[in-house]
Structure 1
Amino acid sequence: MNTINSQFVMSLSIILLGYFLKKVNILKESDGEVISRLIFNVTLPSIVINVFSTMTIDKSLLLVPVISFVFGLIMAAVALIVFKGESRREKGMLTMLVPSFNVGLFAYPIVESIWGRSGLKYFGMFDMGNSFIVFAVCYIIASIYSSSKGEVSYKNIFAKTMHSIPFLTYIITLAINLLGLSIPKPIIQITGILSKANMPLALLALGLYLSFSFKKTYLKNMAKIIALRYIIGFGVGILIYNLVPLDPMFKKTMLIGLILPISFTVIPYSVEFDYDTRFVGTVNNLTIIISFILMWAIIAFV
């Protein structure tokens, strides 16, 4: 078994371990929320500090968050058109599921195991652009269509963005890097130790969140969301991979990044705005399975 396949088998084994532990009631799905908070507030920022503090910024890296952000805006606009015939609340719920990506919890552990720091810096920049989509665009859509008045609290949007530890870590460490400053060595050493826990914790959390049951009434809208995300995402990814004359890691980031699962952040949004949380969770789970298979195939054969 080659290195890539062995890494995916190992990742799948940890995901299935998490699912098994949930099924035998050793762990609960609610434990996944605790692990996720630990990842997003401790281990993921630790990775960002280690990677961003020493990386060399070039034009290909700066282009990654721009593409990620613009693609998210376009996908949101396309979704609003596709779901224009749905009721107001249904339109809001379905549209918020289309533009965002799960980078930190899903992509980071696999990318780290295969490409190490060189891969993480590209996916970190991808997630920077994606963060604006997750915390601004998706939240605005969810908020506007949740009520008949179409009101949105920009104060809440700002608060959510400023309370995102990974997002703030991206911005601060990138600024430190561009200014030519350095992070104290003790911080680098501590975050280096903490970052090693990210991969197993993230994969275990994915297993705890997995669920394979859903209502048949979900099928139509689930199919539309999946078709939008993967047909457009994969198509644009292939075009960038073949037409943009930049380094291979940039191309792989675009090809893989645009077919990642839906961000987990939409689940708390669905709770906050009283959408169908079970539907949101079901679609999220399905995209995890599809993206895992596609990512495995792309990395193995491209």
Structure 2
Amino acid sequence: MDSFNMQFLYCIIIIALGYLLKRRNIIKEKDGEGLARIIFNLTLPSLIIVTFNGLKIDNSLFMLIFVGFIYGILIGFIGLFFLKKKSRKNKGMVGMMIPGFNIGLFAYPLVEVIFGKEGITYFGMFDVGNAFIVFGLSYLIGSFYSKEEVKLDYKTVISKLSKSIPLMTYISVVILNLIGITLPTAIIDVASIISEANMPMSLLLLGIYLNFSFNKSYLKLMLQFLGIRYGIGLLVGSLCFLFLPYDDMFKYTLLIGFLLPTSVSVLPYSVEFQYDQKFVGTLSNITIVISFILLWGIANVMM
């Protein structure tokens, strides 16, 4: 138990280091964009390749893709229902943040500490369904409410999905796994070396993006968002944990997955759709802190 808590402490120290480097102007927040691109397009895909290569995937794991996708749609529409009296801009800005989870940057480093490679496998399958929500539903909500008259362009959404390297990597390695094809040893060895950087780089990036300043007039809207996201997430996650007929790792994946922070993709969306970027960034950071505390608590109960 002490060793486990020390691992969490090390994660906090790395996040704090990233924040300190930003505060001292050694690294600027805009530098995080380049680091995020490296993580999303290189270290995270490498981790996916190493994790899924040659792995025997149980049929129950495919249910995680389905659950991740359906839950994203469910909570997305519930969120829009509770936000129906808000202005069009606020409905779009908050509505796009409700579905979708930050799995690649937030969950993977911590899940690896708690569950090891097995945890990465389960959360990887959950993230496949989540990716369609992040790059599909969230984008559609943000786009639709950004202006009074918006024509949804399905080609743009499909294009974004096809250009998502993590999503395409997930799909590719799962298909290769199912048909029994293993990648060459050289590719796996290189990917293994690169994947080792995913955890520290992801934690540093979380620290670089930490920011807690916001307009006080948004406080009620923030509390409503947090109530919807974590209230429903905790309720559905607990019910799944208690009643689903699957193994414990499957249940923990859903319980923890539904309590993860909002996706970092909402940050570039807020720029594209001209929403309040400081509000989106601050609320994203608050979800990181809340999710970190909840995940630490759940992990301690497990241990």
Alignment of 1:14-163 (within 5 A): 14-163=14-163
The residue identity in structure 2 corresponding to 1:141 is I
RMSD between aligned residues: 1.0
In 2: Cα distance, 1:4 partner to 1:65 partner: 29
Q: Per-residue displacement from partner, 1:118-137 (whole Å, max 9, x unpaired)?
A: 01000101110000000010
Shift of 1:213: 1.5
Q: More displaced, 20-29 or 87-96?
A: 87-96
Shift of 1:181: 1.0
Q: Counterpart in 2 of 1:298? A: 298
Shift of 1:215: 1.6
SS in 1 for 2:30: helix
The residue identity in structure 2 corresponding to 1:101 is F
Where structure 1 has 5 or more consecutive residues not aligned to the other structure, the ranges are: none
Task: State the identity %.
Answer: 50
In 2: Cα distance, 1:215 partner to 1:33 partner: 24
Q: Counterpart in 1 of 2:212? A: 212
SS in 1 for 2:60: helix
Shift of 1:158: 1.2
Work out whether residues 230 and 259 of structure 1, in 8 Å CA contact, stay in contact via their aligned partners in 2: yes
In 1: Cα distance, 2:207 partner to 2:141 partner: 29
Q: Counterpart in 2 of 1:244? A: 244
**Is residue 231 of structure 2 the alignment partner of residue 231 of structure 1?**
yes
SS in 2 for 1:161: helix
Where structure 2 has 5 or more consecutive residues not aligned to the other structure, the ranges are: none
Q: Counterpart in 2 of 1:164? A: 164
Shift of 1:113: 2.2
Q: Counterpart in 1 of 2:256? A: 256
Shift of 1:30: 1.1
In 2: Cα distance, 1:140 partner to 1:6 partner: 41
Q: Per-residue displacement from partner, 1:216-273 (whole Å, max 9, x unpaired)?
A: 1111010011011101101111111111121111111111000000000011001001
Q: Per-residue displacement from partner, 1:136-185 (whole Å, max 9, x unpaired)?
A: 10111111111211311112111111111100000000000011111111
Work out whether residues 19 and 207 of structure 1, in 8 Å CA contact, stay in contact via their aligned partners in 2: yes
In 2: Cα distance, 1:282 partner to 1:78 partner: 23
Kindly tell me the number of residue pairs found equivalent between the two proteins.
302
The residue identity in structure 2 corresponding to 1:255 is L
